[in-house]
Structure 1
């Protein structure tokens, strides 16, 4: 019944065009203003229509809704029954009509047509016609427009290249440019840039294409200087078509290259010693990607395989075992952190090295001194240059390894770094070194050799020499001097005779060679004895004191000195010190005789005065030096030895070695033995028959003495003279020939006595004589079977 009524109403409206009235023409309807209603596809939309009567007494009789130019209403409300809320609702049977419904609401101004799940086919211009009972019809136009979403944003970089993933890379401190572009969209979309929910750029830059706005909507993001805050950030480009449009978002992560923010050098110790390794560590962070660390010393790259670097996301640590020397003191150690992907992304840290090292010392002559021109009497100044850290605590000077002390009186002035020598002498020659020390160690300089030029002077031991000469003897006088320089030395000779005149000697008799001059001199007369002087000169000057040769008449030599005994395994050694040779060549003689009064059983010849006569020696040795090795002594006997010097003038007084006893039994027989010395062996006859022959000769000499009365008287006078004078030292006349006692030789053994002090020398005992202090030590060898 209701459906028939709706159909009847639409039929009446269609058939009766006049019912619409003149104001329902198409032209009139199009001139009415239309209210724009935006909707999103799928949303529920309400189209308003004011049904308030112009007069309070009036009422609504009919409400009709038309779409676009259609003359058939899509929805109607019949209120001719009198009450609007009880009106009859009618809608065309189609998609739009099925989902439309007119809502009156509480008030007439809130009346609206609600359309559910609108689609793009539902959009258009809707007209609401309201018929009143007594007032003219009223029309309202509503433009239903659905929002069109723009396309997904497309992002481009400054070079116009599309950014499909991560944006960048961008460099810290440089510009950042990104362009976000969308197409379509209704209403015109807004394109904005966001970061972490905060708007960065909301200005839309619409490109102009061919003089008209294009279909694209663009927002260009520009950052004048990229900061570290953008590192790791994500930017969003949002495009939204009107308030009802849903934002279309494109997220762009940023790739930011950062310069190193911090770089720092850390040393394991503050005190650095030369030659000792020190650990150095360089730390840097803030670089993206992680920085590369480079070590430099004084601007030079350090290439060391021991460098170890560890990298993390934005930090790097590098370790270096640094070994420096004294030449590296005050140099800068640089750690440079470089971002390999950031041109110019470099940060450096410098540390000045303070290297401690032992002194390095250089000694040299002060300026103005020339080592080639130094002479005796000059002054000299030496300088010690010290390079050390810390500064030296002490500086000392040494001369030939002897410490030099400050001595103003002696002309030695030691300052902190200088050494001054006043009035040089030859004693100042030698090597000088400077030694400096500090807390690290000690340094020694290379030696400075000081040698000075000086006039000739006699070589030590050649200053004054006494030369004995015979008449008509030619002497070869050798003069030796010392001088610098020595290649230009010239010699001259003078003679000072007994008359006191100093006369030059002819140079033809001198042979000069280097620092030596040999002068041939012959003593012809008594006046030729005197003093010869040897003078030398060089480029420095003339010799101040000549070398003197006192030519005196030759005389007998002096006795040897300090004779001592020493027993070897095969011989008895006698060793003396030569005395004065009397001016002539001398040699030495040792004679061995039997000891006087010894219990050997041998008889010693005597004269009628009871004086022992001189017996021939048992054995005799000669040598150029007073050194003898005796093989002729037999065990069991005591011997007396005499040593004397002999030259052409005669022989010296003897030096006696008395009571020399060889311990042990005598051998059976020895035909012959030899005495060995440094020059040549001398044979000594020591057989038993030789001993008896000696006794016979002594007896014959004694008999001859008794016969010759005159000779006896002379001997008596001599004896009387000797008794009135002090007793002389024992001479060769005290010797007697020992009796041969055969015995077997055995090794002697040490024998100690409480009443005498003895010293042992390889089986020999030397004893001081308490009663005869002038005699040499007594030697006793004890025989033990």
Structure 2
């Protein structure tokens, strides 16, 4: 504005501010008004006042135009941009590295990572964070924010880290020492599970049951159990009139009696009672016990006449196994 000729003259450089700048003298103090601010309007402005009889005065000020970032870019651990706002799925316990980069903006934006209201990382222009995925985090939502100035609303971007669900896993239950091999069943609470396969070791001593389970979020905290049942022992054992099978346990003393068995008739055959004692019986001693009585008999037979008048003499060796 120039009033040296007594007439107010307004002028603005068309190559810089042009019609977007005006000078108001009706206010106190006078104002330079800029409209439709652009990034290139940033810089130092100088107000110069020339007096007729006084020295010229200059006042300087800096104008900073705040520019929010154009966008935020989220990179995974391989440096690849994450699209769609979802990353994964990952297994529980996996460590993931995420980087958030603010594109554009002036002054340089402050970038930060947040999980709910917890600050994870904070840096200029770009921020990186490492997160170890835990079950209680599911679904894990992380937020990247970029702020150029407190007077401006932050630019934010959310990303959901997906964790594996519906993935099959195998559980193994083994029964050792049961003969014949038992029946193993799997249960989830009171519900029986049927996605099972069984196998028996070559020596028959170990029965393994493998459950294929596809857990879901609803299974968190549920109890999975296996049960072993010996189908061949539905009823009490009957091993003898004086034997209580329920009292035979590992570490017990077991007495087995063997009584005589009549062979070739009972006349003149007497067998004395014999006992077998097993002290501190262990499971390795389980099995079949057989009482055997071997006898060798040599008998000379008197000659007898056959109808043809021939004479035969027999020598007999007899072995008995009752």
Is the 8 Å Cα contact of residues 173 and 227 (structure 1) preserved in structure 2?
A: yes
Query: TM-score scaled by structure 2?
Result: 0.58
In 2 relative to 1, CA 356–240 (structure 1 residues): closer, same or farther, beyond 3 Å? Answer: same
Q: Deviations over 1:384-432 (max 9, x none)?
A: xx9966528xxxxxxxxxxxxxxxxxxxxxx9323488xxx942269x9
Question: How far 1:145 sits from its partner (Å)?
Answer: 2.7
- Paired with 1:511 and 1:490, the residues of 2 have a C-alpha distance of 12
> Which residue of the partner structure matches residue 104 of structure 2?
184
Alignment of 1:247 with 2:167, yes or no, is: no
In 2 relative to 1, CA 171–127 (structure 1 residues): closer, same or farther, beyond 3 Å? Answer: same
In 2 relative to 1, CA 278–183 (structure 1 residues): closer, same or farther, beyond 3 Å? Answer: closer
> Which residue of the partner structure matches residue 427 of structure 1?
269
> Which residue of the partner structure matches residue 159 of structure 1?
78
Partner SS, residue 428 of structure 1: coil
- Paired with 2:172 and 2:163, the residues of 1 have a C-alpha distance of 23
> Which residue of the partner structure matches residue 236 of structure 1?
143
Show the 5 A alignment for 1:230-629. 230-257=137-164, 280-282=186-188, 301-302=208-209, 312-315=216-219, 324-325=230-231, 358-359=236-237, 391=248, 416-419=255-258, 426-428=268-270, 448=291, 450=293, 452-453=295-296, 484-486=297-299, 489=300, 491=302, 511-514=311-314
Is the 8 Å Cα contact of residues 259 and 271 (structure 2) preserved in structure 1?
A: no
> Which residue of the partner structure matches residue 46 of structure 2?
127
Is the 8 Å Cα contact of residues 150 and 189 (structure 1) preserved in structure 2?
A: yes
In 2 relative to 1, CA 390–254 (structure 1 residues): closer, same or farther, beyond 3 Å? Answer: farther
In 2 relative to 1, CA 317–134 (structure 1 residues): closer, same or farther, beyond 3 Å? Answer: same
Is the 8 Å Cα contact of residues 112 and 122 (structure 2) preserved in structure 1?
A: yes
- Paired with 2:48 and 2:108, the residues of 1 have a C-alpha distance of 32
- Paired with 2:30 and 2:115, the residues of 1 have a C-alpha distance of 42
Is the 8 Å Cα contact of residues 309 and 317 (structure 1) preserved in structure 2?
A: no
Question: How far 1:163 sits from its partner (Å)?
Answer: 0.7
In 2 relative to 1, CA 127–173 (structure 1 residues): closer, same or farther, beyond 3 Å? Answer: same
Alignment of 1:113 with 2:17, yes or no, is: no
In 2 relative to 1, CA 195–451 (structure 1 residues): closer, same or farther, beyond 3 Å? Answer: closer
Partner SS, residue 160 of structure 2: strand
- Paired with 2:25 and 2:157, the residues of 1 have a C-alpha distance of 40
In 2 relative to 1, CA 420–360 (structure 1 residues): closer, same or farther, beyond 3 Å? Answer: closer
Partner SS, residue 63 of structure 2: strand
Is the 8 Å Cα contact of residues 101 and 113 (structure 1) preserved in structure 2?
A: yes
> Which residue of the partner structure matches residue 118 of structure 2?
198
Query: TM-score scaled by structure 1?
Result: 0.27
Q: Which runs of 5+ in 2 are unaligned?
A: 200-204, 261-266, 277-287, 304-308
> Which residue of the partner structure matches residue 222 of structure 1?
130
Question: How far 1:539 sits from its partner (Å)?
Answer: 8.5
- Paired with 1:390 and 1:10, the residues of 2 have a C-alpha distance of 126
Question: How far 1:356 sits from its partner (Å)?
Answer: 7.3
> Which residue of the partner structure matches residue 721 of structure 1?
none
Q: Deviations over 1:111-147 (max 9, x none)?
A: 5737475421755533223568986443211222322
In 2 relative to 1, CA 155–387 (structure 1 residues): closer, same or farther, beyond 3 Å? Answer: farther
Alignment of 1:144 with 2:73, yes or no, is: no
- Paired with 1:124 and 1:446, the residues of 2 have a C-alpha distance of 106
- Paired with 1:102 and 1:387, the residues of 2 have a C-alpha distance of 118
Partner SS, residue 21 of structure 2: helix
Show the 5 A alignment for 1:726-737. none
Partner SS, residue 180 of structure 1: strand
Partner SS, residue 186 of structure 1: coil
- Paired with 1:257 and 1:309, the residues of 2 have a C-alpha distance of 14
In 2 relative to 1, CA 97–190 (structure 1 residues): closer, same or farther, beyond 3 Å? Answer: same
- Paired with 1:222 and 1:160, the residues of 2 have a C-alpha distance of 14
- Report 1 or 2 for greater relative contact order, CA contacts < 8 Å, sequence distance ≥ 6: 2
Partner SS, residue 22 of structure 2: helix
Q: Which has the higher helix share?
A: 1
- Paired with 2:310 and 2:98, the residues of 1 have a C-alpha distance of 115
> Which residue of the partner structure matches residue 21 of structure 2?
96
RMSD across aligned positions (CA): 5.6
Question: How far 1:94 sits from its partner (Å)?
Answer: 4.0
- Paired with 1:95 and 1:218, the residues of 2 have a C-alpha distance of 35
Partner SS, residue 416 of structure 1: strand
Question: How far 1:318 sits from its partner (Å)?
Answer: 7.3
Question: How far 1:295 sits from its partner (Å)?
Answer: 6.6
For these two proteins, the number of residue pairs brought into alignment is 267
Question: How far 1:360 sits from its partner (Å)?
Answer: 8.5
